[in-house]
Amino acid sequence: MKKTIIIILIALAFTVCDTGENNTSNPVVNPGDTPDNPIARIENRQLTTANWATLLNEIEADGKYVDLDLSACTRGNQTSGGGLWNDGSFNPDPSLPTIEKGKSKIVSLILPEDATSIPDGTYYPPTDLGGERYGINFRFFSNLKSIKGTNITTIGRNAFNNLGTHSTGAGQGVLANIDFPNVTKISGDAFNGCYSLISANIPKVETIEMQAFIHTRLQSLYIPDVTYIGVQVFGQNIPSEITLGKIAPWIDYLNSRVGTAARTVTVRVPQGATGYGEIPNIYIGGDRTKNWGNSFRGMGWNPSKANAFMGDGTARYDAEGYGDTSYINTNLTLLIEYTP
């Protein structure tokens, strides 16, 4: 009996020792230590340029990943620089305070309710080394997975460009979800290169400019108020399901880039919709009829550009605003049907 007790005690001792060794090899991960476990940070301050810099430096000094809620923050009196301007523009300023301090620790961001726009990135004119370009306002937000701006109505050019990670290693971020319920205009290249972007809540958008969502992974999009879709807005990464409105929007050429792998896209419209042609309908293969369905497949239809040159400088829109039929992406099957 005594031998049995001794053996049990020895086994327990080894178990305790093993547990201790395992604990030392698996250190405790505290809230905020990783982007997958951020801590909540709620701010209520006037977002002057100085206060915005102070906030970013505080986040950097704390060293914790955060879900940052700025909804209660108010406008400063500045008209440039970082922070919330007096006209309602929110500018994170890619040069403030010192390169990327604090910004890489922000996992989700709720913009101030006082914010009504995100301005264009800084414009750089052409030089001997290259053509014109724009800066990226949200540069260095490399761990930003989601952003919400309740009262944002305009998103400027290049605002989130390249804030994504591509399989080839391109990109510098992980932006996956955007929530702008009142945005009406999304400017060119706003989300270009956001390879991780899978969800976009933009139900009131009216204008989507050139390449705004090229190189994203959106699967569905609800944009019933849209009236204009620019050049290569989606490119090869066009969503599989898109809900549009009662009047067919104008679309510039190469909305769906030629060369896209064979796929099917369903466009849903409400009963009584006009301008889409016969509904339901299917556009497939080598059909080169000049109609809205084929304009969506890359040809383009924009009456405001009737008889104007297209981007290659040789082809023109015709008198009705239809583009060159050679731009039609015959690999894309388009289904147009009524919403349930």
- 319 assigned to some structural domain: no
Quick one: pLDDT at residue 6? Answer: 45
- 134 assigned to some structural domain: yes
- 231 assigned to some structural domain: no
Q: Is the dihedral of CA 204, 80, 148, 116 positive or negative?
A: negative
What would the mean pLDDT of 122-146 be, rounded to a whole number? 75
Quick one: pLDDT at residue 289? Answer: 93
Quick one: pLDDT at residue 22? Answer: 53
- Which CATH number covers residue 153? 3.80.10
Distance in angstroms (rounded) separating the CA atoms of residues 260 and 330? 9
Q: Is the pLDDT of residue 314 over 80?
A: yes
pLDDT tier at 5, thresholds 50, 70, 90: very low
For 212, list phi and psi in degrees, rounded to 5. Answer: -60, -35
**More confident: 126 or 245:** 245
Quick one: pLDDT at residue 75? Answer: 98
What would the mean pLDDT of 8-12 be, rounded to a whole number? 44
State CA 198 to chain mean position distance.
8
- 136 assigned to some structural domain: yes
pLDDT tier at 100, thresholds 50, 70, 90: low
Scanning the chain, the segments in alpha helix (DSSP H) are 2-25, 49-62, 292-294
What would the mean pLDDT of 79-104 be, rounded to a whole number? 86
Distance in angstroms (rounded) separating the CA atoms of residues 23 and 245? 58
| Overall number of domains in the chain | 1
Residues 6+ apart with CB under 8 A from 176: 145, 146, 196, 197, 198, 199
- 311 assigned to some structural domain: no
What would the mean pLDDT of 220-239 be, rounded to a whole number? 94
Give burial (CB, 10 Å; 0-12/13-18/19+) of 311. middle
Structure tokens belonging to residue 30:
């505290």
Beta-bridged to residue 246, according to DSSP, are: none
- 95 assigned to some structural domain: yes
- 3 assigned to some structural domain: no
Rounded mean pLDDT of the chain?
A: 88
